[in-house]
Amino acid sequence: MREERDANTSERRRASDHRVGHLLIIGGGEDRKRDKAILTRFVELAGGRDSKIVVLTAASRVQDEMFRMYDRAFADLGVDDCVHMAVTSREEASDPKRAEEILSADGVFMTGGDQKRLLAIIGGTQVDAAMHRVIKTRGACIAGTSAGASAMSEHMLATSSASDGAPGRDETHLAAGLGFLHRVVIDQHFSERQRLGRLLGIVAQNPYLLGVGIDENTALVVESGACLEVVGAGAVTLIDGREMRSNFLDVEEGERMELVNVKLHLLPAGARYKLQGEPEAPEALREALAAVTSVSTMGPLAFPRSLDRRRAA
């Protein structure tokens, strides 16, 4: 039995050498009981039913319950090798054994919860660095839903005050995220919780950033430097404010802002564009697409040398 398992692992690793890494960024509320379209896509990107999937539940305060929910869903999809990585402290997130578990995975799935909790626990640790490494070296798929989605980018939405839906000054605050994407800020549960106003507010305060709003049961698939795809039931909203004119500096805190010449792209489920090749992105979308598909695999810190030597061996 062990020899068979080792043989399957070796075969899976050989196959992963030819895979391209992906990000799967989910707006929360993904279907886990019926057709499971988004989770099915995640399994496909990870390499299929024989893949090893690590479910990282650090964002949640009910980690065992959260894992059981996804373990059942992935089992229904035929995945036998589903590992729970429960992390409750930075000491645990700095454990080389946990980093090794990530490095041997074909897919890593970050659950919902609180993105500030997720970053406080794993940000800059060996678990964090291992996720950046595995997408590059093994072509793994890194997925995040809800809080796990918000944490994907270098800039992460951390706090937001109550709003009537219109963009206001200083109503949202950003923090450092995991850094898989640059020049992007992600908001989730987007249409369902009417978050267009707050994402516009973020872009008004940070026009260099591209705002990405993802509906529930909807996911944005990103292949580094190559293509973007929307799967699920809803849509992804892209807000580009680089050519925007606003009165952000002239209004008081909490006041409504004037925003002129904001570009908004709405990509429904089924939309798929490439930077090169077919289906090629329209010219108006190309720069936004280039920003979204600029995936970083370097990691927040240099990878620990002890693990580098171990992987090389």
Domain with 39 in it? 2-312
Distance, first Cα to last Cα, the chain: 25
Say whether pLDDT at 168 is over 70: no
Q: How confident is the model at residue 254 (pLDDT cuts 50, 70, 90)?
A: confident
Q: What does the pLDDT read at residue 313?
A: 42
Q: Which segment, 99-113, 154-168, 169-183, 237-251, is predicted with the most confidence on average?
A: 99-113
Say whether pLDDT at 1 is over 70: no
Q: How confident is the model at residue 253 (pLDDT cuts 50, 70, 90)?
A: confident
CATH of the domain at 45: 3.40.50.880
Say whether pLDDT at 146 is over 70: yes
User: pLDDT: is 284 or 103 the higher one?
Assistant: 103
Say whether pLDDT at 8 is over 80: no
Per DSSP, the three-state class of 260 is strand
User: pLDDT: is 266 or 158 the higher one?
Assistant: 266
**Is-cis flag, bond preceding 279, omega within 30?**
yes
Q: What does the pLDDT read at residue 159?
A: 74
Instruction: List the single range of 105-109, 131-135, 282-286 with lowest mean pLDDT.
Output: 282-286
Say whether pLDDT at 124 is over 70: yes
Q: How confident is the model at residue 285 (pLDDT cuts 50, 70, 90)?
A: confident
Q: What does the pLDDT read at residue 278?
A: 82
In sequence order, what DSSP letters do the residues of 174-220 get, joined into one string?
EEE---SBSSEEEEESTTTTT-HHHHHHHHHH-TTSEEEEE-TTEEE
Say whether pLDDT at 129 is over 70: yes
Give per-residue pLDDT as tens, 75-102.
999 999 999 999 999 999 999 999 999 9
Q: How confident is the model at residue 24 (pLDDT cuts 50, 70, 90)?
A: very high
Q: What is the mean pLDDT of residues 150-176?
A: 78
**What pairs with residue 259 in β-bridges?**
246
Say whether pLDDT at 12 is over 70: no
Q: How confident is the model at residue 38 (pLDDT cuts 50, 70, 90)?
A: very high
Q: What is the mean pLDDT of residues 124-144?
A: 96
Q: Which amino acid is at 10?
A: S
**Domain count for the chain:** 1
Per DSSP, the three-state class of 143 is strand
Q: How confident is the model at residue 50 (pLDDT cuts 50, 70, 90)?
A: very high
CB 214 within 8 A of CB 150: no
Mean pLDDT of the chain: 88
Alpha carbons 184 and 51: distance in angstroms, whole number: 29
Say whether pLDDT at 53 is over 80: yes
